[in-house]
Amino acid sequence: MVKIELNKQLEVGGSLRPLSFEASLDPNAILGISGPSGCGKTSILKLITGLMPADELVVELNGRCIRDTKQGIDCPLNEQSISMLFQSVELLPHLSVEEHVRWINSSEPTKSLEASLSALGLLALSKQRPNRLSGGQQQRLGLLMCLLTQPDLLLLDEPFSAQDENNRQAMIKLIQGFQERKPFPVILVSHQQEWLSKNCSFVQQLDPL
pLDDT at 137: 96
Whole-number Å distance between alpha carbons of 130 and 122: 12
Mean pLDDT over 4-15 rounds to 91
pLDDT at 12: 83
Q: What is the pLDDT of residues 46-105, one digit of tens each?
A: 999 999 999 999 999 999 999 999 999 998 877 889 999 998 899 999 999 999 999 999
DSSP secondary structure string, 127-180?
T--GGGS-HHHHHHHHHHHHHHT--SEEEEESTTTT--HHHHHHHHHHHHHHHH
2-205 architecture in CATH? 3-Layer(aba) Sandwich (3.40)
Q: What is the pLDDT of residues 118-140, one digit of tens each?
A: 999 999 999 999 999 999 999 99
pLDDT band at 14 (very low <50, low <70, confident <90, very high): confident
Whole-number Å distance between alpha carbons of 60 and 134: 36
Q: Assess contact for 155 and 187: CB atoms under 8 A.
A: yes
Question: For the chain, how big is the Rg over CA atoms in Å?
Answer: 17
CB hemisphere CA count around 133 (13 angstroms)? 29
DSSP secondary structure string, 30-47?
EEEEE-STTSSHHHHHHH
